Amino acid sequence: MRNRIAGRLDRIPPSGIRKFFDLVSSMGGVISLGVGEPDFPTPWHITEAAIHSLEQGYTMYTSNSGMIELRREIASYLKTTYDLDYDPNTELLITNGVSEGLDLAVRAILDPGDEVIMPDPAYVSYPSCVLFADGVPVRVPTSCDNQFKLAAADVEARITSRTKAILIGYPANPTGAVMEIGDLADIADVARHHNLMVISDEIYNLLVYDTEPVCFASLPGVKDRTILLAGFSKAYAMTGWRIGYAAASADLIAAMTKIHQYTALCAPIMGQVAAIEAIKAGEPEARRMTQEYDRRRRVMVKGLNDIGLTCFEPKGAFYAFPSITSTGMSSEEFAETLLTEEKVAVVPGTAFGQCGEGHVRCCYATSLSNIEEALTRMARFVKKYRRS
Ligand SMILES: Cc1ncc(COP(=O)(O)O)c(C=O)c1O
């Protein structure tokens, strides 16, 4: 045996976020602005629907594609919300969260060496999933000068004969950036013009503030080349239920299902039952949680700007991405020193790509009192280290 572990894995660094949380979990009294997940429990009527189904004996596999009732509800939701038609029998696949959907999408479309253009910074799994599929992530720098939007001209400049897809995720993790309809239409033009696929991760689409969500697939002429990924984790506070979905044309869903049926078989049935309840009756609770995030967002963004950590206004998800350059520290140094000295956990921007340098991610999916206390501690910290 040459090596026990496949060489492919050497090209993929361990998740910067995990490394950091291992450190956090070994300390007491930490206020965490770290983990990107709702602090609310799943709304009770959703949990209750799942409990009830367990009592009825719903403990088995479902169809590989997922329960048809759930696929029908999703199809009807996409029609009502975005006027998009997807056939629940052939154009929808229920996945184990968007995480699995993303993995299936890239494995279904990439041959070794195919390139996928994506923003930098971006969600940690994007480049890794592409590398796991033997593809090549091609990063497009974005910055707060352009509110971390992906500029179509920058995408176009990186297209080669090996480019297969553009991978976008707006509202964005880690920046909270949103792409308006015009910005996305420019990306759609590039995709059409160069005959590229688009994977659009819309997990945060319901979490937008002072703006309307846009579904990329609903833009003119791109539905057939788009794999839409979305799910229940964030808007319905259902991270542990592991339910997401992919919507795309039948050939793409068939290819993704081929992998899914061998590697995952299906998404958990209790999660699927819960998701049916969420999509049918969960909107008022989802809206209430979104309003609460919005309140916290305002406090967080104002607080960061007031203490000298300049922060552009995030319009979606539940993250603020302030600049920490006034301290002269690197992102990692800032996050580690802040954690050690003030017991506030934030994530170094570099966990999301090189262009995250000079920033940290602060998740405001935590109580207002936690946010206020974290800001007090951070103010003390910034005062001590401020250089400019
Ligand atoms: C942008 C983005 N996509 C996907 C995921 C994973 O979502 P899921 O829980 O549906 O697997 C996350 C989780 O943080 C995320 O931030």
Residue 158: how many other CB atoms lie within 10 Å: 14
- Taking 3-state DSSP, the helix, strand and coil percentages for the chain, each rounded to the nearest 5, stand at 50, 15, 40
Question: Would 1 be classed as within a structural domain?
Answer: no
Do both 220 and 137 map to the same domain?
yes
Q: 123 in ligand 1 pocket by Cβ < 6 Å?
A: yes
pLDDT tier for residue 27 given thresholds of 50, 70 and 90: confident
pTM beyond 0.85: yes
Do both 102 and 203 map to the same domain?
yes
How does pLDDT run across 317-341, given as a tens digit for each residue? 999 999 999 999 999 999 999 999 9
Question: Would 370 be classed as within a structural domain?
Answer: yes
Asked if residues 198 and 105 have their Cβ atoms less than 8 Å apart, the reply is: no
pLDDT for 9: 85
How does pLDDT run across 63-119, given as a tens digit for each residue? 999 999 999 999 999 999 999 999 999 999 999 999 999 999 999 999 999 999 999
Provide φ and ψ at 46, rounded to 5°.
-75, -45
Do both 327 and 308 map to the same domain?
yes
Find the 232 Cα to ligand 1 centroid distance in Å: 10
CATH number of the domain within which 17 lies = 3.90.1150.10
Q: 186 in ligand 1 pocket by Cβ < 6 Å?
A: no
Task: Give the closest residue (by CA) to ligand 1 atom 14.
Answer: 36
- Using alpha carbons, list the distances in angstroms from residue 119 to 11, 266, 354: 19, 30, 11
Nearest ligand 1 atom to the CA of 37 is 14
pLDDT tier for residue 13 given thresholds of 50, 70 and 90: confident
**Domain end position, chosen among 281, 301, 336:** 281
Do both 160 and 299 map to the same domain?
no
Question: Would 52 be classed as within a structural domain?
Answer: no
Do both 147 and 182 map to the same domain?
yes
Segment 231-251 mean pLDDT: 98
Find the 248 Cα to ligand 1 centroid distance in Å: 19
Question: Would 49 be classed as within a structural domain?
Answer: no
Q: First vs last Cα of the chain: how many Å apart?
A: 56
In total, how many domains does the chain have?
A: 2
Do both 119 and 267 map to the same domain?
yes
Question: Residue 265 pLDDT more than 90?
Answer: yes
Find the 169 Cα to ligand 1 centroid distance in Å: 10
Do both 234 and 111 map to the same domain?
yes
Task: Give the closest residue (by CA) to ligand 1 atom 7.
Answer: 98
Do both 303 and 265 map to the same domain?
no
Do both 305 and 208 map to the same domain?
no
Segment 260-265 mean pLDDT: 97
Do both 83 and 224 map to the same domain?
yes
Question: Would 275 be classed as within a structural domain?
Answer: yes
Do both 296 and 204 map to the same domain?
no
Do both 121 and 245 map to the same domain?
yes
pLDDT for 22: 77
Q: 36 in ligand 1 pocket by Cβ < 6 Å?
A: yes
**Domain end position, chosen among 217, 252, 281:** 281
pLDDT for 16: 65
Among residues 92, 124, 56, the alpha carbon closest in space to that of 267 is found at 92
pLDDT for 24: 82
Q: 303 in ligand 1 pocket by Cβ < 6 Å?
A: no
Question: Would 53 be classed as within a structural domain?
Answer: no
Q: Containing domain of residue 130, as a range? A: 58-281
Question: Would 168 be classed as within a structural domain?
Answer: yes
Q: How many helices (H) and strands (E) does the chain have?
A: 12, 12
CATH number of the domain within which 235 lies = 3.40.640.10
CA dist., res. 320 & res. 301, Å (int): 7
pLDDT for 357: 97
